[in-house]
Amino acid sequence: MARLHTEQKAKESTYFHQDFHIALNYGIEYVRQRFGPESVKEYLAQFAAAYYTPLKKALKDTGLTAIKAHYEKIYHTEHAQFQMQLLPAELHILLHASPAVAHIKAGGHKVSPLYHETVSTVNREICRDTPYDCELTKYNPENGGYQLRYYKRSL
Amino acid sequence: MISCTEFIPAYSELFKFLEEKQDKSAVVDFWKYLSDLFLTNLKNEVMEHGLRGCWNYWSKTLKEEAADFTMDLDEEKGEFSITMHHCPSKGRLLELTHMEAYRDYCEHCDLLYRRVLEPLGFQYDLDRSRTDRARCRLTVRPEPGSNRNETYRNKA
């Protein structure tokens, strides 16, 4: 019969709880099953519009370097393998495999067939009302790897 | 890619979306769905180790979430508790100045864990009176009169 006690300060740990990928996957699946595929896009667009407001502003103010800096930070946090190429009016992003998909699968959970919308819908929404657009040019549903192209809209 | 470090705003926004799409019942149904499919690790820990399973489960998750908390387990008394001094999830939402947290955000913690623990023979109490400051207190005890060493095995 043990008595255990512990105290932890936030600064003693690094904020990195990968199980949240599983919870997001179930969130997408719940919306898909209950309200249909279009509602998944609607939800992710609503989230992106609300959460990425500062990133959208940075994209308008400083251009594609803002997106590059954002994803460099995200991928480093997630220990992802990636490549980026910044051209004068384009940004090419290659994510070899998604750490999120790897974690969901490692836990024995089924990845939502609409999980790719966390890339395509979210990034399109980030571009909305900016001079830029983006397209998901490749997506590997097995490992969640993708190629994403940001580009300046034609006038 | 949405990072796991960006999940909490996505989670909060999902609650808002579901409520707008239907009503609060869609949010509550989602919490039940998530509890059943996602918290199997908590269920397995508690089925295997009883109250100690709560200690094992939250030791890992709260460290990964970089929470600011005090956690106690008294197996003789039959009590497990977490005093959350600063919840990393609610704290993050309160810090975001450009978006607002879902009104009943902290309610998910009440439903998700209660739904796992009560069928296993435990009382679950969550004091949410200070969640506006990202603080709460969670207590888990065996049901009165139950054998706390056998409760979870019998109910499994």
Confidence of residue B154 (pLDDT cuts 50, 70, 90): very low
- Contact criterion met (CB below 8 Å) for A47 and A126: no
Q: Which tens digit of pLDDT belongs to each residue from B110-139?
A: 999 999 999 999 999 999 999 999 999 999
Domain annotation covers residue B110: yes
**Taking a C-beta distance cutoff of 8 angstroms, is the pair B62, A8 a contact?**
yes
Q: In this structure, is residue B53 part of a structural domain?
A: yes
Percent of chain B whose predicted confidence (pLDDT) is above 90? 92
- Residue B145: the pLDDT is 77
User: Is position B152 within any domain?
Assistant: no
Low-confidence ranges of chain A (pLDDT < 70): 155
CA distance B22 to chain A (A): 10
Handedness of CA B5, B7, B13, B15 (dihedral sign): negative
**Quick check: B151 pLDDT over 90?**
no
**pTM for the full model?**
0.94
User: Can you give the CATH number for the domain in which B44 is found?
Assistant: 3.30.1380.20
Task: Work out the burial of residue A12: count CB atoms within 10 Å of its CB; fewer than 13 is exposed, 13-18 middle, 19 or more buried.
Answer: exposed
Residue B98 located in a structural domain: yes
Question: What residues make up the domain containing B56?
Answer: 7-144
Instruction: Give the closest-approach CA distance of A62 to chain B in angstroms.
Output: 20
Q: B15-54 b/e with 16+ CB inside 10 Å = b? A: bbbbbeeeeeebbbebbebbbebbbebbbebbeeebbbbb
B50-97 tens-digit pLDDT: 999 999 999 999 999 999 999 999 999 999 999 999 999 999 999 999
Query: Domain A18-152, CATH 3.30.1380.20 — does that match?
Result: yes
* Residue A155 pLDDT: 65
Q: How far apart are CA B137 and CA B11, in angstroms?
A: 22
In a domain, B22, yes or no: yes
Q: Where are the domains of chain A?
A: 18-152
Asked if B59's CB is within 8 angstroms of A27's CB, the reply is no
Q: Cβ contact (<8 Å) for A23 and B11?
A: yes
Structural domains in chain B (count)? 1
Q: Does B153 reside within a domain? A: no
Interface touch A78/B55, C-beta < 8 Å: no
**Residue B65 located in a structural domain:** yes
Give residue-wise pLDDT tens across range A48-61. 999 999 999 999 99
Shortest CA distance from B18: residue in chain A:
A31
In a domain, B130, yes or no: yes
- DSSP string across A77-127: HTT--EEEEE-SSEEEEEESS-HHHHHHHHTTPPPPTTTTHHHHHHHHHHH
